[in-house]
Amino acid sequence: MQLPSLDRIRTAQRVVYRHMPPTPQYSWPLLNQRLCAEAWVKHENHTPVGAFKIRGALLYLGALMAEQAGLAGVIAATRGNFGQGVAMAARIFGLTCAIVVPHRNSAEKNRAMQAQGAELIEHGEDFQAALEHARTLAAGRGLALLESFDPRLVLGTATYALEFFEGAPALDRVYVPIGMGSSICGVAAARNALELDTEIVGVVAEAAPAYARSFKERRLVEAPARTIIADGLACRTPHPLALEAIFANVSRVVEVSDAEIEEAMRAYYEDTHNLAEGAGAAALAAALHEPSQIAGKRIGMVLTGGNVDRAVYAAVLGGASNPARAQ
């Protein structure tokens, strides 16, 4: 897969900035103390939909409208954040939008998609089943299907990555969560375009290890997605193009448990008072997972989103944030 050039990323930024400002990157003293490192957080939880997905959705829909005369409607499958981005972009461009989610999806993410004007369709037990149903509906209804991994989505994530690399001091390493792979590929694109030496480390949920196993075996490996807390990482089937870029640009992939992700969610709240959903906290969970690897370094972490249901977040915050409180 050919990653976008610096010129293409800057052009894409101008498109994105018509609808949202750049998001900030901050280094938080309490978080630095916790990590024993200088950590910079890219706050993609500060976008208009609370996650990075709006960037790629704007570019994807804009490209489809230019390519397909008379385009009236789109459809996508999601666990929530991609669907919110697609629904918002569709509303901006005056398109109808249908979103397919698996049963028992986040109730608050579902409502947010509907508030953007999307038709919500529930189908299947996981994201892969919802995606396959969306493909069937696209053909039957004459809708344009937005795939969950596409070069235009990578271009969108590269816009935040470029902001990050240009807004923070030179980073030794950056931790990036992997759902379907657009984020980490976009980070690689921006890193390469700027000719930086920053190491890129992918992060997956231990209970959704498909990308980690694929990386280890250097081939596409499917695996069940059973993570409870990180729905944005619940990938059963990796995308071949994403794997191609990851194999070429990522140094390793770290697996973190649901318990470690919940601990990172608490840490973000305690140290920065930022809301992080499970997938959004995964990068911090990985940094906390390997303290000897980051000690004394300057690291980056992508907080990809903050869309977590109130009841879920209340339960996570009610957990002990360190051994002393657990007793």
**Cβ atoms of 254 and 103 closer than 8 Å:** no
Q: What is the pLDDT of residues 58-97, one digit of tens each?
A: 999 999 999 988 898 999 999 889 999 999 999 999 999 9
Q: How far are the Cα atoms of 52, 83, 90 from residue 133, in angstroms, in the given order?
A: 24, 15, 20
Q: What is the pLDDT of residues 187-219, one digit of tens each?
A: 999 999 999 999 999 999 999 999 999 999 999
pLDDT at 320: 47
**Cβ atoms of 201 and 253 closer than 8 Å:** yes
For the sheet containing 252-256, what is the strand order? 25-26, 38-43, 298-303, 173-177, 199-205, 252-256
pLDDT band at 324 (very low <50, low <70, confident <90, very high): very low
Q: What is the pLDDT of residues 104-143, one digit of tens each?
A: 999 999 999 999 999 999 999 888 899 999 999 999 999 9
Spatial distance between the Cα atoms of 41 and 177, rounded to a whole number of angstroms: 13
DSSP class of 103: T
Helix (H, G, I), strand (E, B) or coil at 117: coil
Q: Are strands 298-303 and 173-177 parallel, antiparallel or unpaired?
A: parallel
**Cβ atoms of 163 and 23 closer than 8 Å:** yes
Q: What is the pLDDT of residues 29-42, one digit of tens each?
A: 999 999 999 999 99
The domains found in the chain, sorted by start residue, are 6-52+151-326 (3.40.50.1100), 53-146 (3.40.50.1100)
Q: What is the DSSP string of 176-199?
A: EE-SSSHHHHHHHHHHHHTT---E
- The pTM of this model reads 0.94
